[in-house]
């Protein structure tokens, strides 16, 4: 996640130097998610059949290659190539979540998934600052530093990360890879379906904010690639504290369902008020709403999904959730950049807030998933 966050805030500025328009930047950002969207269910099924560890190792290797391509990209199509390769490697997010669910008892999963999210948030907070600093060494430096981090991570996983999937676990019959994803749309009233839709809507709101933030801050406050890292550091630090310190006590007090509902409302409010500040001090007071909302929403929703899914299908369910999250990350930058260019610089936040509000109604019309037999052991 450090590597991912190193290049993400720099991407729009690099693309602008290659004469890209805001709408082209939207397609560039979305290309990562298109690749992730196509590969996430595959990774989930592969991890259910062959194990979590091989899928994670391959994903890390693909990410390292992507960062090298980014470092030496001197044309817009090479930036697209790096994003697509990185998206294919990033499709293992659901596998990492399934790994946690494999190794943690159900009653502690929300807290454990919160720590996984906290690790991601820490990477997101450190990455932009490191990327901005590395950019002073040359355009290639951020990509190469990110690639080295991925390779070190891959070596660590190869030597010390054990396989988490229980040996001898029955693998369900193979179905067309998109069957599970289509089932969500065919049966939207099922608990898992609603949870996945809520997860996807939350991801759309968050992705709309992150994809448009560099352009928004540049247009309104004159923020450049040399200073954008501090804003992502602020957001990432808030997310890390929320997920590593605050999430556990909140879930213990109001439950996973309550955390999901409060997170949805907070995220929605944050999106609606984001365009209002005209000074950086007022913006700094509003920024926390979105990381607080996502810190409550995502781990709680993921934990509820794991409770509602048989263990032998857990990898597929998490992969499908990442598929819908990937679809949200495809739609979000396209809608956000079109609204930015054609309506106004604050409109992307309002549009995303409306979508989160409409789908978020599901968070208040869903019962807690029943306890599975595996939770009793």
Q: For residue range 246-295, list pLDDT tens digits in order.
A: 888 888 888 888 888 999 999 999 999 999 999 999 999 999 999 889 88
| Residues constituting the chain | 377
**Res 254: pLDDT:** 87
In this structure, what token pair is assigned to residue 171? Answer: 């693998």
Percent share of the chain, pLDDT over 70: 90
Domains defined for the chain, CATH in brackets: 2-160+176-369 (1.20.1250.20)
- Give the whole-angstrom CA distance, residue 217 versus residue 253: 37
What pLDDT sits at residue 89? 79
* Beta carbons of 337 and 23 less than 8 angstroms apart: yes
In this predicted model, what pLDDT tens digit does every residue of 180-229 receive, in sequence order? 667 777 777 777 888 888 898 999 999 999 889 988 998 899 888 778 88
Say yes or no to pLDDT of 312 above 80: no
pTM of the model: 0.74
pLDDT for 174 equals 52
pLDDT at position 375 over 50: no
| Predicted local confidence at residue 373, as pLDDT | 41
Question: What's the rounded Cα separation, in Å, for the pair 168 and 49?
Answer: 10
% of the chain residues with pLDDT over 90? 29
Q: Which one-letter DSSP state was computed for residue 8?
A: T
pLDDT tens figures, 32-79: 878 877 777 777 777 777 788 888 898 899 899 999 999 999 899 999
> Does residue 369 have a pLDDT over 70?
no
- In the numeric block, the tokens 């998610």 are attached to 33
SS (H, E, C) 174-209: CCCCCHHHHHHHHCCCCHHHHHHHHHHHHHHHHHHH
Helix ranges restricted to H, the chain: 2-7, 10-17, 22-50, 52-71, 76-89, 93-103, 109-134, 141-160, 179-186, 191-221, 228-241, 247-273, 280-286, 289-307, 314-342, 347-360
Per-residue tokens: 297: 């929403």
Bigger pLDDT: 310 vs 71: 71
pLDDT value at 149 more than 90: yes
Q: Calculate the average pLDDT of the chain.
A: 83
C-alpha–C-alpha distance, residues 220 and 275, integer Å: 10
Question: How far apart are the C-alpha atoms of 196 and 306, rounded to whole Å?
Answer: 11
Cα(81)–Cα(59) distance, rounded to whole angstroms? 16
232-244 burial by CB neighbour count: b if 16+ within 10 A, else e? bbbbbbbbbbbbb
CB atoms within 10 A of CB 336: 30
Instruction: Compute the distance between CA of residue 375 and CA of residue 264 in angstroms, rounded to an integer.
Output: 26
Higher pLDDT, 16 or 216: 216
pLDDT (average), residues 352-360: 88
Average pLDDT for residues 166-186, to the nearest whole number?
62
Backbone angles phi, psi at 190, to 5 degrees: -70, 150
Query: How many Cβ atoms are within 10 Å of 112's Cβ, its own excluded?
Result: 18
Q: Which residue has the higher pLDDT, 354 or 42?
A: 354
Answer yes or no: is pLDDT of 19 > 80: yes
What's the rounded mean pLDDT across residues 231-245? Answer: 81
Residue pair 136/227 in contact by the 8 Å Cβ criterion = no
Indicate whether 371 pLDDT > 60: no
Phi first, then psi, for residue 167 (nearest 5°) are -65, 140
Query: In whole angstroms, how far apart are CA 47 and each of 50, 52, 109, 157, 321?
Result: 5, 5, 19, 15, 15
101's CB contacts (< 8 A; 6+ apart) are 109, 113, 306, 311, 314, 318
CA distances from 126 to 5, 86, 231 (A): 8, 19, 11
Instruction: Supply the DSSP string of 105-139, one letter for each residue.
Output: -GGGHHHHHHHHHHHHHHHHHHHHHHHHHHGGG-T
Helices 191-221, 228-241: inter-axial angle, 10-degree rounding:
150
Reply yes or no on whether the pLDDT at 374 is more than 50: no
* pLDDT at residue 172, rounded to an integer: 54
């Amino acid at each position: 996640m450090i590597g991912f966050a190193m290049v993400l805030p720099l991407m729009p500025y690099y693309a602008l130097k290659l004469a890209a328009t805001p709408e082209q930047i939207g397609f560039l950002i979305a290309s990562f998610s298109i690749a992730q969207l196509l590969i996430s269910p595959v990774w989930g099924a592969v991890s259910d059949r062959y194990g979590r560890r091989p899928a994670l190792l391959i994903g890390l290797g693909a990410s390292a290659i992507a960062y090298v391509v980014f470092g030496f990209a001197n044309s817009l199509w090479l930036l697209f190539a790096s994003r697509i390769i990185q998206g294919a490697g990033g499709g293992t997010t659901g596998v990492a979540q399934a790994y946690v669910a494999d190794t943690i008892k159900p009653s502690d999963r929300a807290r454990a998934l919160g720590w996984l999210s906290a690790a991601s948030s820490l990477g997101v907070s450190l990455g932009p600052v490191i990327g901005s600093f590395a950019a002073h060494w040359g355009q290639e430096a951020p990509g190469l530093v990110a690639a080295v981090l991925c390779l070190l991570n891959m070596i660590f996983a190869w030597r010390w990360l054990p396989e988490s999937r229980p040996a001898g676990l029955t693998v369900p019959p193979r179905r067309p890879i998109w069957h599970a994803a289509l089932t969500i749309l065919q049966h939207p009233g099922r608990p898992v379906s609603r949870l996945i839709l809520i997860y996807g809507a939350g991801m759309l709101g968050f992705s709309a904010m992150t994809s448009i933030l560099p352009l928004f801050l540049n247009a309104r406050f004159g923020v450049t690639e040399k200073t954008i890292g501090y804003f992502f550091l602020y957001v990432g630090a808030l997310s890390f504290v929320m997920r590593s310190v605050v999430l556990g006590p909140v879930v213990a007090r109001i439950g996973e369902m309550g955390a999901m509902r409060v997170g949805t409302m907070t995220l929605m409010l944050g999106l609606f008020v984001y365009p209002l500040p005209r000074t950086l001090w007022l913006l700094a007071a509003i920024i926390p709403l979105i990381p607080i909302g996502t810190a409550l929403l995502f781990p709680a929703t993921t934990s509820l999904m794991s409770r509602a899914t048989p263990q032998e299908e857990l990898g597929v369910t998490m992969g499908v959730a990442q598929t819908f999250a990937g679809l949200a990350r495809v739609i979000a930058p396209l809608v956000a950049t079109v609204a930015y260019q054609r309506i106004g610089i604050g409109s992307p936040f309002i549009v995303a807030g409306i979508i989160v509000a409409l789908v978020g109604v599901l968070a208040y019309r869903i019962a807690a998933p029943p306890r599975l037999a595996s939770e009793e052991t």
